[in-house]
Every structure is written in structure tokens, then in C-alpha cells.
Amino acid sequence: MHLTYSITLSSFSSIEDIYVTLEKLADIGFNQLEMFGEPDEIDLKFMNDIILSFNFKIIGITGMWGKISPMGWKRRILSNDISFRKYSENYVIKCIEMCNYFGGDKINVCLFADPLDWFDSNHGFISHNDKKNKLSKSFSMLTDLANRSKEYGINLLIEPLNRYSTPFCSNLEDSLFMVEHCENLGIMLDTYHMNIEEDSFKNTIIMSKNFLHHLHFADNNRKMPGFGHIDFDSIISALKEISYSETISYEPTILNMEYKKDLIFGKNYIEKIESKYD
């Protein structure tokens, strides 16, 4: 069984006009996209009409958390401030409705908290108990959001980010703690973050089997696969072993408009690896 791939539109959102991006992606051979989650900034009908005109399918929404969005700093599900928590909850609800409008079936949630003045992101350490105490305060909200999401046929997915982004949900172990306590919540993994936090790509994927509904592919340098040192062979092997049938989205960092050859290289690199297992 072949794996199914898409690409994140958030990678291109500040590079060029959407028409130009879609034309290039279609020419490369992509037919599925992951829409960036900015429901207050997008004319949904206008965007949907453009996407459909190129015969793309939207598979889900990329939540815009943290510094990747001008409003990301307010999206703190783990905040001590109720106004930040409420803002975050409303943001996820809008993303659920947006995802439903585009016909997608997945949204990623990243668990940011208030900044920690004492936390040294290079060497600091937060104990498992402190993590669990912080994470457990979000159980009720995330269960409600996951149940609401399920009503639309959409998977709400926890994405662990590496410790330099957030110290509270940074690896599979943290994510499993969440999904085991929150009804209808799933997991999404990102190879860039896994490269920093996990001991083994293959073991992590196998351990996530019962909850894994989506992946982001990027190399250790945030470029397309094949431009860094991540062992994508072990990743593909593990996905085949667990009979993974959901989508995978490429999520490269794009810095200029001359990106087509890099996308083609990365796409071919992964297809060559996968062909070994067919």
C-alpha cells in the first residue's frame, strides 16, 4: 500500500501570490494540501474557489501556534490566564469550522504555556511531575474540543514540539499522557521535532500506532527530506510496519521563490525510499 502525501500551504504563505504557488505545486505533481489555520484572516469561499480551480484537495488544517503566526503568542492552551485559554479555545473551534468548510479531517494542536523567565531553553529541565500537573489542567478543554471536532468527522491531534519551542509537550511520552486522558484526542508527529527529542524514529512511530493520524515530513534543517541527515528509511519502514494509512504532509521552510527543484528532489527522495518497500 502506497503512502499518501500532501504539502503545507503555510510553508509558502509569505513568499508569493497563492495562484503562483498552486500552479507550481500542481506542476510538480501535488494534488493534496494542508491549509494554514488563520480563520480570521482568510476569505474562505475565495480561497476554496482558488484551490478547487487547481483540483487540489484540502486534507486538514495546520494550526498556527507560537511564533509562526502574528497572533500565535495568544494561543496558549496551558496559560495561567483564563483570557489566553479562552482565546485558544475559540481559535481551535474556528479552525474546526474552517476545516469542515474545506472538507478536511485533521487539525494539529500544540501546547504552549506562558513564558518561563527561569527556563533556559538549552539546558533547563522540567520534571515529569511538573509536566503532568501542567498538562492535566488542559484535559477538560481538550476533551470538549476533541468531542466537538469528532462531531464534524475531524481528528483533533496533539503535536509534540521540541524543547526549544515548548517544554511541556515535547515528545511522544508527553503526547501519550494527553491522549490517554482526553477522549477522542489523537497524535501527530513531525520528523523535525522527533529528530531532537526521540531516541528512535522507528520505535516512536510503532509506539504511537494506536493514536497516530498524521505526520509532517521535514529534514533536521527544516528543508525537504534528503537535504539533511534524518533517516527517512527507518521512518518509512516503521510506517509500513504499522500499516499506516493516513496522510503525510511535507512541511519545508521556504525562503524564496526558487524552490521547485528542492521540492522535486525531496519528493523523489521519499518516493525512491518507499519503492523499496512496495
**Active-site residue set:** 159, 251
- Pairing assessment for the beta strands 57-63 and 155-158 based on DSSP bridges: unpaired
3-state secondary structure of 43: coil
Report in angstroms the alpha-carbon separations of 152 from 57, 104, 145, 208: 17, 10, 11, 24
With vertex at residue 63, the alpha carbon angle to CA 60 and CA 66, rounded to the nearest 5 degrees, is: 165
DSSP code string of 46-76: HHHHHHHHTT-EEEEEEE--GGGSTTGGG--
Write out the H or E segment, with its range, that includes residue 122: none
